Structure 1
Amino acid sequence: MSSDPWGRVDETGTVYVRTAEGEQVVGSWQAGTPEEALAYFERKYEGLVVEIGLLERRVKTTDLAAKDAQTAIDHLRQQVDEHHAVGDLAALRERLDALVATVDKRREERKVQRAKQSDEARKSKEALVAEAEELAQSEQWRSAGERLRALVDTWKGLPRLDRKSDDELWHRFSHARSAFSKRRKAHFASLDAQREEARRTKERLVSEAEALSGSTDWGPTAARYRDLMTQWKAAGRAQREAEDDLWNRFRGAQDVFFAARSGVFAERDAEQGENLKVKEELAAEAEKLVPVTDLKAARAAFRSINERWEAVGHVPRDARPKVEGRMHAVERAIQESEENEWRRTNPEARARAAGLTGQLQAAVDKLREQIDTARASGNNARADKLSRELEGRQALLDQALKGLEEFGG
């Protein structure tokens, strides 16, 4: 018979393990000595110690699922409860109980963590839905579309919620994306229609511009080109390739016309510059007639100068007022001389001037007699009043006498 603190072997080869409830049969050993029997079952105990230790480390250091950990604990507990080892089985049970408590705690912690993650995921998905619904109303088609695609990727990276909640949020999220896509599709369809209408309008404008490119009706055609440009800008943009091609044709037609006009205008400007020199010489010749000393000769000379003036073509527009003003000044001087001569030689006007002068002279003489009579009678107040009246009549008489002198006295 052999024994140690945790077990013994009796005479029949039966091996026992000592527990708090008493000895329990471990097994039977017939192949060797009792010491070998105890050593064998002690090694089995050590094997259980190693397995429990390994499981403790796995629970402590790895992300072992609670279900898997519990299965391993149950398997080891079954081996301990079957008493197929010699050693402190109660200590093993205590370690397994402690592992169960650890696993239960871990399970609760994970449950809380999952609840927290679920709550965070719910909030994140609700935020994604809210942003998607806001983006659904956007007209920033490129940036909003890119953002919605990024939101989908973010959604896929979030944990699932309970089926009902997840489905409801996904339905709202998907509906927002569909609404945006529908609006964007309608927008670009409308834009395509507008661009097609712009293309047709601009083709018509190009056709007219090309038809006008050979015109020599410079003013009206240039004005029409300005109208066409205004219509071009108002038509909006066509598709990119069509827009570039139409614009090149439109500008090309204008360039042909304006290049031709520029050539003609350059030739005309040179001619008008020569005309300006001639008219400046004629204006200088006319200015020598002023002041007018011989009206008849001045009139004849100015008529000759003016005939030559009319025979000269156009001058540059900006120079026209100045050079024409010089001729008009000479013409006005001659006209004024003619008017003065007419007034001087007109018998009727002379007679009217002489008659008016005679009447004023008689009135002045009469007032002077009345003043002398008033003062002689001592009526100074009347004399003063008549004196003031005399001053006014005398001024009119002086003016009339001056006018009469213009008729040659």
Structure 2
Amino acid sequence: MLNWIFKKKTAAEQAPVRPSPAPAPVAAPAETAAAREARLAEWAARLGQASGDDAALLALAREDGAPVDIKVAAIEALAGEAALKDAEREFRTHDRRVYRLAKQRLAAAVATRSAREAAAALLASAEGLAQEAVIPANRLVALDRDWKALDASLLAPESIARFGTLTTQLTALMHDRAEREAAVTRWTAGAREAVARLQTVSLAVAQGAETQSVLTAAAEAAAALQAGVPQGHDDPALVEALGGGRLTAAQIETRLALLAQFEAPVAEPAPPADVAAEPPGEGAPEPVKADPVALATDRWRTQPPIGDDRVAQALEQRFAVWRRSQGGAPAAPAPEKKKDKPPRPKPAAPDPEAIARADTLLAQAETALAEGHLAEAHQQLTALDDLVSPAQRGRLQGLWAEHGRLKGWQQWGGARARDDLVAEAEALATATEVPDAKIAPRQQADTIDALRKRWKELDRTGGPSSQPLWQRFDAALKTAYGPVAAALAKVDAERQANLAAREALLAVLEATPAAEETGWREQVRALDTFQTAWRKLGPVEHTVPHKSREALVARWRAALARIEVPLEAARKEAERGRESLIARAQALAAEGASGQGRDLVPRVRDLQAEWQEHAKSVPLSRGAENSLWTRFKAGTDAVFAQREAVFNARDEVLRANLMAREALVERLAALTADTPAAELKRTLSEVDAQWRQAGDVPRQDVPRIDVAWRNAREIAQSHLAASAQRKWQVTVESVLARHALCEQRERDGASPALDEAWSAQPAVPTLWERALADRWASSAAPVDADTVDQWLLQVEMALDMPSPEAFQAARREWKLRAMKAALESRQSAAEGTVGADDGFARLLGQSGLAPVQRERFDAIVAVLRTRPR
């Protein structure tokens, strides 16, 4: 049917088969082989000439007479991708072998070209990566992964070797640079630690808390680091810091050596003997002694300045302490000797109360210094300058020295803490300036506040700070506060927008008409809409400007009260109405439980409709509505549950009736064709009686159970009919057997075998048994043929079977006589009429029937077979 689609010819359209011509004589095998070899040699020579020329090879493969092997060899010799593409397109519709080869060669050529192009790109990336100052590890890993993804069999060996060399170089470069970076990192960390160590030790040595040997060791470690600066280090400031720390250490050693010279006791040189022996002349001026404190001060001031302010201040404090210690015995020039010099007054005796008060103050100053209260100790020491006695002055000078040492430590700690604060503030500002930095404004603000509090605390406890340092600190915190200010501005704008949205909601709510105009449902809807939108705007205390919050809340309360107050009153009234409906529902439930209720369901339906009207008129709050509805529903559900219980009881009865009827159907279905007729009759009778007594069944099961009942009963009745038919057939066969034995005995005479066969026959109906017994005993008197014809006619009429044509008039006469007799005497039969059983019995007792009569007798027997008696 589909041949026309494929343009194929049907069998009828095909050309007739022509007889094949006689085969040509076969040439000798030697000649055929030689010709073939010569032809292949010629094609091979042409193939060799075309080798290296894709166009010639492709033309050779296109020739019609070329052998397939030559075409395949030509395609295999093609080198260009364009030629392979032409070959694949040329042989696509014919010569599948050549086409497959061309397609495979083309795919391989394309894959090779793509792989080599990707390899060239990767090689260029690797060469470019080798020229970069920093080689990212992820790029090297990606390069190696992309190279491994290529098919190595498609790459040129020199490309593979080149990539291996480049990866080795890149790996070596990475390792070398990593080692140099690690060395620079280690040196930088060590240098920074050495600088910090030098600063800490220098200040401690300057304050007298550490020995000079510690400072010398720190300076030597810094010198070793300065001498071993690694290649690639690009932080000259750190190298300068090392040099500056060493210079400061050297200056500290020089200053400490001076202090040691100042503090060492110097013995006054004795004058020469001749000079000492000569008393000074009268009126000669006494020699003026040089002031050692002034000389020491001059030497101290001529020292080069120290770059570290804290170290310089600590050394100055120590020098000031020494100077104060020398203030009790200044090397002042002796006063000129006057002629009339009054005698020097004797010092007054020390006051015991002043000494005791000075001791108390000294003890308090010692306690204050021990506890670190330098300000309190300074006040006490200042007050003691004019109170102490010469014996107590040494103790006072010691306290002044301890105060100076502790003050230096406090100032050094405050300076270090300020430097740390500045570093933290600048780091915070730097992190803020990073593009796309994720900054938490609240946390940033807390951090800035904490830094400012710490600076104020240092101002209180650590002494004043330099103005440039404070400006750096303040500028960094202002920079860091930029995102916080932006976030606060954004929050303020959002709060203004939130305020505007809330005011718009309030305006809509305030414009809502009263309930008398729209009804309570509209009021509730407007209120719910407002509250939902209001909650979406967030808490008022966190989303509205503070200055507008109080007025907004007051307006909000007034707008809500305008609707909620009358709504609550209406809801209370509605709740009382719902309570009355609940009471009525509970009364209906109690009435149904007592069994005296009538028409409860319609009354419940009416009650539910009334509830719906109440709910539509005044909606309650969700909690109150749910609570009242639950109680109301419990009452109505009780009525429906009682109704359901009645229905369930009725359904149980119907299901029991259905099961009883199904059992009756199954009982009928258990009957078979082999069941005795008596049992069939009894079962049918009992099942019919029980079926009539069984009650109703569920409506949906009526058709099914009725059909099953009719089918089962019909089958049972068919079994009963078949059993009666079989029994009747046995009876008819027994009658015919006895009739045949009578005919045989009449023909052949009596014999014991016939008697035995007669006795073996089963019983037959009594009327027929008597007629056959009389015939067997030869006691029946023969009758004439007319009488037999009349019997045959009457039996045929009784069985309603046709009679021969010759007896149709007699048959009509018998019918008229029977009708007349029935009309006159109201009897069912005319005089002389015999029935079917009686007439058949008379026919059984007669012998010597004519052939026509015998045919009519056999026809009667055939009809009797089908009509059980």
TM-score (normalised: structure 2): 0.27
Q: 1:221 aligns with which of 523, 526, 530?
A: 526
CA–CA distance in structure 2, aligned partners of residues 157 and 303 of structure 1: 91
Q: 1:192 aligns with which of 474, 487, 492?
A: 492
Provide the rounded CA distance (Å) in 2 between the counterparts of 1:359 and 1:113: 122
- Would you tell me which structure has more strand in proportion to its own residues? 1
Residue pairs, 1:257-406, within 5 angstroms? 257-286=563-592, 301=599, 305=603, 309=607, 312-313=610-611, 316-332=628-644, 353=661, 357=664, 360-361=667-668, 363-364=670-671, 405-406=694-695
Which of 238, 241, 244 in structure 1 is aligned with 2:550? Answer: 244
- Give the structure 2 partner of residue 76 of structure 1: 333
Cα distance change on mapping 1:289 and 1:157 into 2, 3 Å: closer
User: Match of 1:256?
Assistant: 562
**1:212–1:68 Cα change, 3 Å:** same
Q: Is the 1:209–1:250 contact (alpha carbons within 8 Å) kept by the matching residues of 2?
A: no
For the Cα contact (< 8 Å) 1:210–1:253, is it kept in 2?
Answer: yes
**SS state at 2:281 partner:** strand
Q: Does residue 124 of the first structure (1) align with residue 414 of the second (2)?
A: yes
Deviation digits for residues 320-376 of structure 1, max 9, x if unmatched? 2222123324544666798799999xxxx9xx959x83662362577876xxxxxxx
Greater helix fraction, Structure 1 or Structure 2? 1
Question: CA, structure 1 residues 189+129, in 2 after alignment: closer, same or farther (shift >3 Å)?
Answer: farther
Residue pairs, 1:115-154, within 5 angstroms: 120-131=410-421, 133-134=423-424, 137=428, 139=443, 141=445, 145=449, 148=452, 151-152=455-456, 154=458
Letter in 2 for 1:127: A
Q: In the alignment, is the contact (CA less than 8 A) between 1:26 and 1:85 conserved in 2?
A: no
Count how many residue pairs are aligned between Structure 1 and Structure 2: 291
Asked whether the 8 Å contact 1:199–1:239 carries over to 2, the reply is yes
Query: Deviation digits for residues 287-342 of structure 1, max 9, x if unmatched?
Result: 55579xxxxxx6xx557746765675458412222221233245446667987999
Partner deviation per Cα, 1:183-230 (whole Å, 9 max, x = no partner): 654454344333323322322233234334846225533432431232
Letter in 1 for 2:529: R
1:202 matched residue in structure 2:
502
Distance 1:157 1:201 in 2: 51
Q: Shift in Å at residue 244 of structure 1?
A: 2.0
Q: Give distance in 1, aligned partners of 2:603 and 2:460.
A: 98
Cα contact 2:505–2:530 (8 A) shared by 1: no
Aligned to 1:76, what secondary structure does the other structure show? coil
Q: 1:130 to 1:247 in 2, by over 3 A?
A: same
Task: Give distance in 1, aligned partners of 2:633 and 2:530.
Answer: 30
* One-letter code aligned to 2:694: E
For 2:665 and 2:479, how far apart are their aligned partners in 1? 107
Q: How many Å apart are 1:258 and its aligned residue? A: 2.4
Match for 1:76: what amino acid? P
**Residues 171 and 267 from structure 1, CA distance in 2 versus in 1: closer, same or farther, beyond 3 angstroms?**
closer
Given that residues 121 and 159 in structure 1 are in contact (C-alpha distance below 8 angstroms), is that contact kept between their aligned partners in structure 2? Answer: yes
- Aligned-partner SS, 2:283: strand
Return the offset for 1:259: 2.3
Deviation (angstroms), 1:253:
2.0
Q: Deviations over 1:135-190 (max 9, x none)?
A: 785847579547625624634775679xxxx5764454344444455565445434
| Structure 1, unaligned runs of 5 or more | 1-17, 29-40, 49-62, 88-109, 292-297, 370-393
The one-letter amino acid paired with 2:579 is G
- Compared CA separation, residues 68 and 275, structure 1 to 2 (3 A): closer
User: Would you say the 8 A contact 1:283–1:326 is kept in 2?
Assistant: yes
CA contact (8 A) 1:199 1:238 kept: yes
The letter of the residue matching 2:634 is K
SS of corresponding position for 2:417 = helix
Structure 1 residue matching 2:670: 3-state secondary structure: helix
Residue 267 (structure 1) shift: 0.8
The alignment's TM-score, normalised by the length of structure 1, stands at 0.50
SS, match of residue 406 in structure 1: coil
Amino acid in the other structure paired with 1:322: A
Does the residue aligned with 2:544 lie in a helix, a strand or coil?
A: coil
What is the rounded CA distance, in whole Å, between the counterparts of 1:114 and 1:303 in structure 2?
105
Q: Distance in 1 between matches of 2:446 and 2:695?
A: 93
**Distance change in 2, residues 1:306/1:193 (3 Å):** closer
Q: Aligned partners of 1:403, 1:85: CA distance in 2, in Å?
A: 174
Question: Which amino acid is the alignment partner of residue 193 of structure 1?
Answer: A
Cα distance in 1 between the residues matched to 2:552 and 2:464: 55
CA RMSD of aligned residues (A): 5.6
User: Are the aligned partners of 1:126 and 1:169 in contact in 2 as well (CA < 8 Å)?
Assistant: no
Unaligned runs of at least 5 residues, structure 2: 1-273, 289-319, 342-399, 429-441, 615-627, 677-682, 698-869
User: Shift of the alpha carbon at 1:284?
Assistant: 4.2
How far apart, in 1, do the equivalents of 2:696 and 2:322 lie? 138
Change (3 A) 1:200 1:211: same
Instruction: Write the distance in 1 (CA, Å) between the matches of 2:607 and 2:494.
Output: 59
CA contact (8 A) 2:589 2:635 kept: yes
| Higher alpha-carbon deviation: 332-341 or 129-138 | 332-341
Distance 1:223 1:309 in 2: 29
Distance in 2 between residues matched to 1:271 and 1:75, nearest whole Å: 116
CA distance in 2, matches of 1:222, 1:167: 62
Q: Which residue identity lines up with residue 326 of structure 1 in the other structure?
A: A
CA contact (8 A) 2:585 2:632 kept: no
Identity %: 13
Shift of 1:405: 1.6
Aligned with residue 20 of structure 1, among 244, 266, 276: 276
8 Å Cα contact 2:321-2:404 kept in structure 1: no
Cα distance change on mapping 1:364 and 1:173 into 2, 3 Å: same
CA apart distance, 1:76:
1.0
Q: 2 CA distance for matches of 1:169 and 1:250?
A: 52
| Contact 1:353-1:404 within 8 A present in 2 as well | no
Return the index of the structure with the highest Cα Rg: 2
Residues 366 and 251 of structure 1: CA distance in aligned 2, closer, same or farther (over 3 Å):
farther
- Distance in 2 (CA, whole Å) between partners of 1:119 and 1:310 is 91
Gap change, CA 1:196 and 1:69, over 3 Å in 2: same
Deviations along 1:49-73, whole A, 9 cap, x unmatched?
A: xxxxxxxxxxxxxx89949979x95
* 2:547 corresponds to 1:231: no
Counterparts in 2 of 1:160 and 1:407: CA distance versus 1, 3 Å: closer
